[in-house]
Amino acid sequence: MGKEQFIGTWRLVSVGFRSSDGKVDYPLGEDATGLLIYDENGYMSSQMRKPGRPLFVARDRTKGTLEEIKTAFEGYYAYYGTYGVDEKERTVTHFAEGSAYPNEEGRALKRYYEFKGEQLTLSTPSIPLGGGWVIGVLIWKRAKPVEKRHKQP
């Protein structure tokens, strides 16, 4: 038990944020995709995106309009770092070294965890989002091994 249960790659099933009145919001959409990776050396990486984000007209990441940049940023969330598991509290803490949201860098991001078969549910403590306070509930499913290697472009 412990860290071993986490090790591997997980695919995002859903990410929703519940407010105190019970309303659930899906800021990355109900069809959000992503990967969460935990390795045996204690490193982790999490990435999530809203499908269908529009391409930048300029086709150059440094030449996006303010609206294109805002839409791209709000539709993608990622961070990486190390992690630790507290079996007694049933928490996994992600120690963010780098994040798309700079305010998280250097912070400990606590998540409550629950395993059910090949599914991992991570819940945040109450966090600020969209002008209020919410609890994030992220459901992940253990990824199957890749059968074919992708061809290089």
Tokens (6 digits) for 33: 């995709």
Residue 74 CB neighbour total at 10 angstroms? 12
pTM for the structure as a whole? 0.90
Convert the pLDDT of each residue in 1-16 to its tens digit.
678 999 999 999 999 9
In a domain, 148, yes or no: no
In a domain, 67, yes or no: yes
In a domain, 53, yes or no: yes
Binned at pLDDT 50, 70 and 90, residue 150 comes out as low
In a domain, 26, yes or no: yes
In a domain, 16, yes or no: yes
In a domain, 150, yes or no: no
Q: Number of structural domains, the chain?
A: 1
What is the sign, positive or negative, of the torsion defined by CA atoms of 93, 98, 100, 106?
Answer: positive
Which residue range forms the structural domain that includes residue 111?
3-142
In a domain, 149, yes or no: no
Convert the pLDDT of each residue in 85-107 to its tens digit.
999 999 999 999 999 999 999 99
Look at residue 2 in the predicted model and tell me its pLDDT. 78
Quick check: helix, strand or coil at residue 6? helix
Position 35 pLDDT exceeds 60:
yes
Position 148 pLDDT exceeds 90:
no
124 in Cβ contact with 135 (< 8 Å): yes
Convert the pLDDT of each residue in 112-132 to its tens digit.
999 999 999 999 999 888 788
Q: What CATH number corresponds to the domain at position 116?
A: 2.40.128.280
In a domain, 90, yes or no: yes
